[in-house]
Chains A and B, each alone.
Chain A
Amino acid sequence: MAKEKVYATPNIVTPNRPVIFDSKICNGCNRCVAICLMDVLIPNPKKGKPPIIMYPDECWYDGCCVLECPKSGAIKMNHPLMQRVRFKRKDTGEHFRV
């Protein structure tokens, strides 16, 4: 096996992925870039590709990027781990999480 190089990298900011783009559905129209009130996203230098999440730690999680997206399923909201809530099925008592 070829020896893999190891790099020194800075820590990433938290939270880091407020939204997840599906590059198969997203056509890079940048509607979400135009909508976001915090200006979290910037257009991808490669035309037709999903925007770059440049300032993920500034996201307000209002979901307007998803609400206004013309391609259903192109953007998914992704609550940070410490923001995930639990629920329980009443009949069976089974536990679930968001």
Chain B
Amino acid sequence: MQSIEWPYPIRYQKESEVRTDVLVLGGGVAGCFAAINAAKKGTMVIMVEKGATIRSGAGGAGCDHWVHTPNPSSNITAEELVAYELESNGGYCNGLSRYIAARESYDTLLELEKMGAKIRDTEDEFKGADFRDEKTKFLFAYDYANKVHFRVWGTTFKPALYKECKRLGVKIYDRTMATSLLTKGGCQGDRVVGATGLNIRTGEFIIFKAKATINCLSRHQRNFVFSSELRGLSSFRPPNIVGDGHAMAWRAGAAFTMMEKTSPTTFGSGYSFPSYGSGNPYNTWFPCTMVDAYGKEIPWVDRDGRILTNVSERSRPAPGQKFLGERSLAYNYKKPQLIPDLEERINRGEFTLPLYADLTAMPGDEKRAIWGLMVGEEGKTKVPILQVYTEAGFDSNKDLLQGYQFIRGDQMSEVGHPKERTTGEIADAGGLLIDWDLRTTLEGLYAAGDALFASNYYYHAATTGRYAGRKAAEYARNAEKPIIDKKQVKNEKARVYAPIKRKNGIEWKELNAGICRVMQNYCSEPKNEELMKIGSLWLRDIEENEVMKASADNPHKLMRTLEVMDILTCSQMVIHASLARKASSTFLNFLRLDYPLLDPPEWRKWITIKLTNGEVDIGELPIGFWGSLEENYEAHCGLP
């Protein structure tokens, strides 16, 4: 690749200042909903987004399921949904935000429809299908009896949200990376009064003065796995989601919880294939028939091991089972699945690798729902899978799509190295601690979506964004005028621009890979005090040496370098939290050799971490710290 002159004007160090009532950091699903609902309250709103809002964020490319949503076609209640989520996670689940989500996600979905998004089968493409509610034309997934998980046309969502933001006068700063939070008097732990941003094309510095700020910047990623060589940047969420929001809130003194939780590598491995692009029976492809190399069908069983004889039964609860969870290992909510001893039976020669997804064996409506609707509307499927595979000759009426389960490399059931970890890439990861206003522990700072600890999917990001937007607008109405601390801005500018002043230093990719190696070696599984102390030392070494020599020769690489600095901060947070939990836990995927007892009762609690006067401050909270769900929701939701 030849070098060419940077195509955008360079404005390093140039500073501009803007003011607003509500500042939304991150223009993804949560950010857009937050901005829209704050604007509807009559407040002035600015939204800052690193990409381009129309298609940015984890949900920008699309979405196939809108799950956990009580609605008029279903008998399942919000309380029942949260009970299932708590049970499935041994209590380590954000009961508070998931209750808010369950209470309001149906209204949120209808709000989205009003903006122009498609949420029902208006063209009657699936008329008479087993999973269609004929009256409302809604399509459901996973559990056709209980109808609590919607199938949706998610590629229409983000453009509709973007249009609505524009219509309501939200001022959008695209291609702007938020770099830090500004606090009253520049003090850690004090009220948040705005943020700083960097234009990633021009390098211009922007100071956002705000009465209220909402962190919708998703969560940490790329802490354990980073490789562009193996399959392209190997992250489930967009690679520009790195934990910028976590890192800046940490530096500002906000409290976090569940940061010690990591997971075995699934989506994150470099050996997986394009998301939703290989044969499998999970999630987007649920409940696709799987066959072996000779066409022998792999049987499905319900939670009791009862063999299911027809496709329809795969999407219905077992006798005596209340409803099916979207993803749960808990007996009460477990979905039908392929026979659990499949690997042994393959080893015995009963089934032959490789396995294939056999859409041809699926009833017509089910086939079209998987290939065309789910694969099509889910993010990263419309072009990369549906279009590219069809152009390569794949025909869902004739062909079997190979799966890579039990070989190496799938995206849902990959056989990974047991010690290989990842974080932030699947549903449950650590994040900001919030109260019933979705306010963080800092005055003036709210949070939504994946910025929250133990967050969940699209429906949750949208609904918590909607709620946080309302609450932040209410606060901003009576909040004092924000005053910016000049010294804090000056220090941040020095930090942000340092890499462009250096030549021939280490670049961001090697820095990222180095941090990941430290985390894989010293904070994966198993853990102990000594290993993690070495991990901490290593990260500090990198911070004091390599980071101080890092260089970037244009605004794009400067952004990437700043991202890796945030990845370093988030990695340190993971180690602080992991050192603080002196017990092992099944539910947190947390194994300590020096404290091997699993989930002892005295450790059934949340560990919180924050910075106070620059020192790590460890705290704890009881599992159900949010109290009565219904009472607290009613008292705080701000709805008539």
Contact = CB atoms under 8 A, between A and B. Distances in A.
Given A37-B56, A63-B382, A91 B401 contact: no
B232 A80 contact: yes
Most B Cβ at <10 Å: residue of A39, A59, A64, A86: A64
A2 interface: no
Contact of A61 (B201, B380, B402): B380
B399 interface: yes
Given A12-B1, A57-B232, A62 B400 contact: no
B341 interface: no
Interface string B344-365: 0000000000001010100000
B238 interface: yes
A19 B562 CA distance: 27
Interface string A53-73: 011011111111011100000
B399 A85 contact: no
B55 A37 contact: yes
Given A15-B232, A37-B52, A83 B295 contact: no
A83 B238 contact: no
Interface residues of A, number: 43
Given A61-B384, A89-B399, A90-B399, A37 B51 contact: yes
A8 interface: no
A6 interface: no
Contacts, number: 146
Interface size class of B (residues with CB under 8 A): 35 or more
Given A38-B239, A63-B383, A91-B398, A79 B54 contact: no
Contact of A77 (B57, B360, B383, B400): B383
B251 interface: no
Interface stretch (B103-111, B325-333, B386-394, B613-621): B386-394
A88 B395 CA distance: 10
A39 B240 CA distance: 10
Contact of A96 (B60, B201, B295, B393): B393
A1 interface: no
A61 to B, nearest CB: 5
Contacts of B360: 90
Contacts of B389: 85, 87, 98
Contacts of A14: 228-229
Given A85-B401, A88-B402, A62 B61 contact: yes
Interface string B393-418: 11000111110000000000000000
A79 B389 CA distance: 10
B7 A62 contact: no
B295 A63 contact: no
A68 B400 contact: no
B232 A86 contact: no
Given A37-B51, A39-B556, A98 B400 contact: no
Given A12-B1, A67-B55, 4 more contacts: A37-B56, A39-B200, A62-B379, A85-B278
Q: Closest 9 A-B residue pairs measured CB to CB?
A: A63-B383, A37-B51, A62-B61, A57-B228, A64-B55, A66-B383, A98-B392, A86-B402, A63-B384
Interface of B: 1, 4-5, 7, 50-52, 54-57, 60-61, 155, 175, 200-201, 228-233, 235, 238-240, 273-274, 277-278, 295, 356, 358, 360, 379-380, 382-384, 387-389, 392-394, 398-402, 509, 556, 560
